[in-house]
Amino acid sequence: MIVHTTIASPVGPLLLATSDDGMHLIEFHSPRHPMRRDAHWQEGDNALLRLARHQLDEYFAGKRHQFELPLAPQGTPFQCEVWHTLAAIPYGETISYAQLAQRVGKPSAVRAVGAANGRNPLPLVLPCHRVIGSDGSLTGFGGGLPTKHFLLRMEGALAESADLFTAPA
């Protein structure tokens, strides 16, 4: 059984979904790749949803830089490897898609790494927003570029004067 709830956040409503295995999903209001829901999904509350809500509140308040939640993302082995690698990107830092591909051990698979990054079911916790273009520009993000810009500025990875659509100088 997957239990889900929607919470308010500074970047809009977030759908959180958990099971006994861990966190399955954090989904923005208008996701590019929504997770399929079936009869095993039920709206409700549980201890893990409350813990996730609390940690997300701390994150948005600037008090949490790392999440401590049991995770259960569903994906291919390659996607899971990419998602696991995202967890090692420190708060307030960014890397390029090419650097992410190198960290995964597949330096020529930049597009495949980008596609896996784009299907990350646990954004914020597995910080795909910290992956940017090699020229420093903000590129695709499931929560939208304004959300990515907000998150990176909140974390101090972008200067206050950074423009949303251009690479930093």
Among all residues, which ones are annotated catalytic? Answer: 128
Sheet holding 2-7, edge to edge: 22-27, 14-19, 2-7, 41-43
Q: Are the beta carbons of 104 and 82 closer than 8 angstroms?
A: yes
DSSP string over 102-150: HHHT-TT-HHHHHHHHHT-SSTTTS-GGGEE-TTS-----TT-HHHHHH
